[in-house]
Structure formats: structure tokens, C-alpha cells
Structure 1
Amino acid sequence: MRMLPAIPSQAVDQPTNPLHFRAHHATHFNTAGGLVRVWSVPWRRDDSKCGGPEMSLKGRWRIVKMDMWDRDAIDLVEPGFIEFTKDGTGEFGFIAVRGWVDCRSTKRDGRSCVEFSWEGDDEGDQVSGRGWAALTPDGTVEGHLFIHMGDDSRFQAVPFAGAEDRDAP
């Protein structure tokens, strides 16, 4: 089998999020010709991601309620949160689960919404899944988080700035 040298990539910032890293590199196998070529794919984001013009879910949200777990469990390691950034990524944490999201803006029942896939860890074990989050009329967020081949739960979140008001038991 003949190996071709790697094709140099354009100079781009190397994201630290594991989802970005995987999307940034690709491998092409051409078994018919016996060639293997490895290259970097330029990283691009567009307005259909979390930071699109209609997106108002950007920011850090405090998870205050989940169907599957009580508040003490949600805040086991740190206060539960979900965060969406303008570049279409984000992260969340609750109990001992930490995840990094790749999201797309959309509408659900006429409301701003994001749908996302995610991967992360749960006490050191690799986990992944999907989810969605939507703004409610009162300015809070409701959503649903799915762990691949595991639990799933609806959640409610408030802006971190107003989270203290709702943190009282």
C-alpha cells in the first residue's frame, strides 16, 4: 500500500473542545487504489448554529429541576448548569456528568430552540447523547437531555444571574 504525505492544513485555531477536535480532522481511505490521505478540514460555523441571529438562549443557565433527579443530586459536584455559546457549542454539568454540546438553532412551537448532540464523561466513563432546550414565555428554559443507551430527563433552567432567587428550598 502506498502512503501519501499529509496535506498541510490552513492555519486555524485548534479548538480545545473534544467535539471540535473530532470535527476538525478527517481521514479518507480509498481502498480501490490503495491510497490513504489524511487532511485537516477547516473549521466553520454559520448562523444556523447556536449563535444565529434569532438565538437568545446564549449564556449560562442554572438547572433548577430535573424529572429524574432531585436538587441535591443535580448539584452534587457543582451547581447544575447548561451553557450555549455564540459559536454553536456549549457545555453542561449536573451530578457527576459533564458534557460538551454541538447545537443548532431552530424553532419549536414558535419559540427559539436549540437541538444538540453531546459527548462527555460521567465519573470518568465516556458518555454521549442528544437533547434540546427552548425558551419559555417567562424567560426560563425547558428542555430534555438524553444519555445514549441510558437515562433521559426533562429539565428546567433559569439565567444564572437570577438563579439565587430560585435556589431557596
Structure 2
Amino acid sequence: MMRLAVGVTGASGAIYGYTLIKVLSNLGVEVHAIYTDMGRKVLEYECGLTMADISAHATVYENSDLFAALASGSFKTGGMVVVPCSMHTLGALATASGRDLLTRAADVTLKEGRRLVVVPRETPMTTIHLSNMLTLAQAGAVVMPAAPGFSHKPETVDELINCMVGKILDIFNLEHVLYTH
């Protein structure tokens, strides 16, 4: 069974994180979720969901808990996704700050040679944002801005969300039927 970590920050687009967690759980993936304080607030504001909704699909950690299993490289995962990834968190990841569990877990993911996917959700971007993305890409992360495609001819917002979540699943070679070309 695969085990993945999912970090959710306070950037707009909380539905991406929730949908990914729910789909991973439904695929039988063991999900370990970390929400920043703002990530929790945005989840409630944008989606009307709480951490109880997330706990139905994942093991949830407090972002302040640096003693959590995800803070250690000996806790094996297939990788980590930060979705959505705020520019604040992106900067912390680019400097390997490890100041909280989410950034520490992402740093551990990279140092252990595991797949780290960051899904920034911001527009427009400054050269600082772009530089931080380049730094992460050079360190081995996959940078996948939340920019759903239209080649599958989506008719609903859910189909747009599923396109992005499906693209994330593709990176981990997880079979799905979230979108077709």
C-alpha cells in the first residue's frame, strides 16, 4: 500500500487539497495530512468543511508537532504534495526552513529523494515567486501551478478540479478516471 503526505496551506483553492485527500483515500492510499492554521480557515471559508471532514480520509497532524512521524526520514512515504501551496510556504520550502511540520516534512521528502509536488495557487507571480519555484525544481521538486487544462472539455468546476487532481495522481503513477483526453 502506498503512503503519501499532503500539506494544505492558506492559499485559495482548498478544494484541491480536499479532493486529492478524498480521492487518495478512496484509492486505498494511506494519507497523512498537515494543514496550516490558514489552511484550516480557508478550508472552512471556501468549502464549508472542517478537520473532522479531513479526518474521515486521512491521519491529520498539527502543524506545530515537530515530533510527528512525518518530521523524520525514517517514516517512509511515497512522497508529498503541497496543494494549494501559498507563496509564503513556497518561500519557506525553497529555503528549507523546516519551521513547522509541513515545511519539515517537505524538506525530509526532498532530502530522502522522494517525490515532492508543490501546487502554487497565485497569480500574477513576482520574480521572487518564480525564483523560489526554480530553486525547488532544481532541488528535485515538481512544480505544478494550479492551472487546469481544457482539452478534456470540462463542463463543471468539479471537472476542472478533477483535472488538476488527476495530474497530481499521474505523477505518482496512480490509476484514476478523473479526466480523459
TM exceeding 0.5: no
TM-score range, shorter chain: under 0.3
Greater relative CO (CA pairs within 8 A, separation 6+): 2
Give me the TM-score of the superposition, normalised by structure 2: 0.25
Structure showing greater radius of gyration is 1
Give me the TM-score of the superposition, normalised by structure 1: 0.26
**Of Structure 1 and Structure 2, which has the larger fraction of its residues in strand?**
1
